[in-house]
Amino acid sequence: MIKQISKNVSRQKRHLRIRKIVKGTEARPRLSVFRSNKAIYVQLIDDVNQVTLLSASTVELKLAGSNVENAKAVGKLIGEKAIAKNITTIVFDRSGYLYHGKIKALADAAREAGLQF
């Protein structure tokens, strides 16, 4: 009998592989994405000093649901906040999620707001 691995366990394994490589600094923070069933959360993190610089989410915007349109709104918000704090270049950490759908929409909206990956 073959043991099935859940999608979330597979995602967590991918996330650990990614985190070995992707590091955020004060000059170039890491944009970390978390996607739940109800919301999308993003943070700009300085891994050297272990501090969160900025955050945004659909909860903050008071948007219902976790869909592509809401992901675009969160991407735009984090981009605007980052530009206001003079952060223009970042490292994108998709947290093991596939670069498709909500994650891609969020990244594209952040790029349109002025962030460089």
* pLDDT per residue as tens digits for the range 34-83: 999 899 999 999 999 999 999 999 999 999 877 999 999 999 999 999 99
Sign of the dihedral through C-alpha 103, 22, 114, 50: positive
pTM: 0.87
Q: Where are the domains of the chain?
A: 7-112
7-112 folds as: Nucleotidyltransferase; domain 5 (3.30.420)
* pLDDT per residue as tens digits for the range 4-42: 889 899 999 999 988 888 888 888 999 999 999 899 999
Query: What Cα–Cα distance (Å) separates residue 36 from each residue in 2, 26, 41, 101?
Result: 28, 27, 8, 14
